Amino acid sequence: MKTLLVTGGAGFIGGNFVLDTLAAGGWRIVNLDALTYAGNLDTLAAIEGRPDYAFEHGDIGDAAFVRRVLAGHRPDAVVNFAAESHVDRSIDGPAAFVQTNVVGTLTLLECVLGYWRELPAAERAAFRFLHVSTDEVYGSLGAQGRFTEESPYQPNSPYSASKAASDHLVRAFHHTYGLPTLTTNCSNNYGPYQFPEKLIPLMIQKALAGEALPVYGDGRNVRDWLYVGDHVKAIGRVLEAGRVGEVYNVGGDAERENIHVVKTICALLDERRPLADGRRREALISYVKDRPGHDRRYAIDASRLKSELGWTQSESFESGIARTVDWYLDHQDWVGRVLDGSYRMERLGV
Ligand code: NAD
């Protein structure tokens, strides 16, 4: 069985990827994760102890640790999800984003390059380093057009700037040293196990509790939403059959204004769990001061991934958001342990 080293596998997308890949079979997975506030081993409780799964607690920026993990597990491929990922946090404190997303990715690349160079020729040829990135590196769109893989990089937040730098390093490691890299740039994800600081789970929790729903600016910023299950399938496809050195955009063909997303969540919850006082949840929406540098519109052209690799999304926005609302309603224990901090304290022995 081949071995896959996944970094950041205790996070939202990485966790979904680990669960999905193990369920599909064919890979043994080693999950390297620093367990920052965004890392949650509760997500992976069902696979703990499986012989085809191992967890390594540490930082992608710690070269000695990464080298030990590579030498100990001898992976056939690496998928890099590890990152600081929340735009608002990057505005309050960009340094952590540069440390993990730029310096950490560079350290990981250097360690992987050293390991890859020592592999026997056939294993070296088959090896892949897949870097998971975001459409936010391309900046903001006007009313027309979509991002392609050739769109210029114009990052506007410290988060997207740090991801852009990491993408460039990955590209450089391919062109300079021949490391067999792949990069995916994906639009906004939503779905199970997303940390409740991000728009969709945050709104679900607040709306469920009957609290005010803060929406940035005029609420008309557009994101191209992709169900996380479709994203992890795309990553699997690119890993399996992507052209070495290539970039693949991943998107859901599901452009929606933020206000539409919030109103959809309100309507779904009104149906499933009406408020005791009979209020409609839309009345909870309150517009708040816009995020500085807030990109207006993102939209992804995923035609390369679709035509070359035969991937397509299986969830529409409407079906995906309904599944997501139902998942959060059914997993209030998971959310509760995030909100009261117990998901971290137990694991870290605090
Ligand atoms: P997340 O914040 O939920 O998870 C990040 C994970 O990385 C956590 O488990 C955390 O503990 C781990 N981590 C952080 N710093 C680390 C370090 N220095 N060493 C090792 N592990 C570390 O993020 P996510 O939403 O799952 O995103 C995963 C990747 O996908 C990121 O690279 C992000 O840029 C990219 N991405 C996210 C989205 C989205 O909508 N969430 C969209 C496109 C791309």
Residue 261 near residue 224, CB atoms below 8 Å: no
The structure's pTM equals 0.97
**Catalytic residue list:** 135-136, 159
User: pLDDT digits over 221-232, tens only?
Assistant: 999 999 999 999
The Cα–Cα gap between 195 and 156 comes to 23
What is the model's pLDDT at position 350? 47
155 in contact with ligand 1, CB cutoff 6 A: no
E strands, the chain, in order: 2-7, 27-33, 53-57, 77-80, 128-134, 181-186, 189-190, 213-216, 222-224, 226-227, 247-250, 255-257, 285-288
8 in contact with ligand 1, CB cutoff 6 A: yes
What is the model's pLDDT at position 348? 60
What is the model's pLDDT at position 342? 94
Tell me the chain's radius of gyration from C-alpha atoms. 20
Instruction: For the chain, list residues with pLDDT below 50.
Output: 350
Domain residue limits, the chain:
2-194+227-253+294-314
36 in contact with ligand 1, CB cutoff 6 A: yes
What is the model's pLDDT at position 345? 77
Q: Determine the distance separating the centroid of ligand 1 and the alpha carbon of 217, expressed in angstroms.
A: 26
The Cα–Cα gap between 52 and 30 comes to 8
The β-bridge partners of 29 are 4, 53
Cβ-count burial 284-306 (b if 16+ within 10 Å, e if not):
bbeeeeeeeeebebbbbbbebbb
User: pLDDT digits over 163-180, tens only?
Assistant: 999 999 999 999 999 999
Classify residue 244 by burial, with Cβ atoms within 10 Å: 0-12, 13-18, 19+. Answer: middle
May I ask the CATH class of domain 2-194+227-253+294-314?
alpha beta
**Residue whose structure tokens are 């020729």:** 121
How much is the ipTM here?
A: 0.99
